[in-house]
Homo-oligomer: A and B are copies of this chain.
């Protein structure tokens, strides 16, 4: 059994290596790892750092979706629970975006409690990335569309952690004042 700090540190380095070269969709000047650091930190904060596997899964949550690791590999490196959590929040990228977004809304209520926490943290980070200081009309439209969709997904994920739910609501308020 690895110590909590070792597990999280290993997950962070693994994610950093694998996502090298990727940038954030909404902030192309930021490396993708910034998104993962945000998600992991949100999860740590709202759970008072009590669950290292959840935080590690936050770092790793896009590795399978982005085809940078397999579930088998994550299981071998990080154990069953983390591999299963990442798998649960992995979209089928062979589907078109509209279908994937619809599926996230439909599937959200059926996810495990911990996968729901990752989903909400992911949406908080992604909404924040779409809030720009001097947005173009396209950026406003994108922020509005993303936020409304995120609200639909998160509606099916709420109730597991009151601080996380409040943080999401606060993020949505900030986004709406920037539409």
Contact = CB atoms under 8 A, between A and B. Distances in A.
Interface of A: 2-10, 12-13, 15-17, 20-21, 29-31, 33-34, 37-38, 40-41, 43-45, 48-50, 52, 55
Please classify the interface of chain A as helix (H, G, I), strand (E, B), loop, or mixed, using the class held by over half of its residues. Answer: helix
Contacts of A33: 16, 31, 33-34, 37
B41 A9 contact: yes
A2 B41 CA distance: 13
Which 7 residue pairs spanning A and B have beta carbons closest together? A5-B49, A3-B49, A9-B44, A31-B31, A6-B49, A13-B41, A16-B37
Nearest to A34: B16
Nearest to A27: B20
22 contacts: A3-B44, A5-B44, A5-B49, A5-B50, A6-B45, A7-B49, A9-B40, A9-B43, A9-B44, A9-B45, A10-B41, A10-B44, A13-B34, A13-B37, A13-B38, A13-B41, A16-B33, A16-B34, A17-B34, A20-B29, A31-B33, A33-B33
A4 B4 contact: yes
Given A21-B29, A49-B5, A37 B55 contact: no
Nearest to A44: B9
Nearest to A51: B5
Contact of A30 (B20, B49, B52): B20
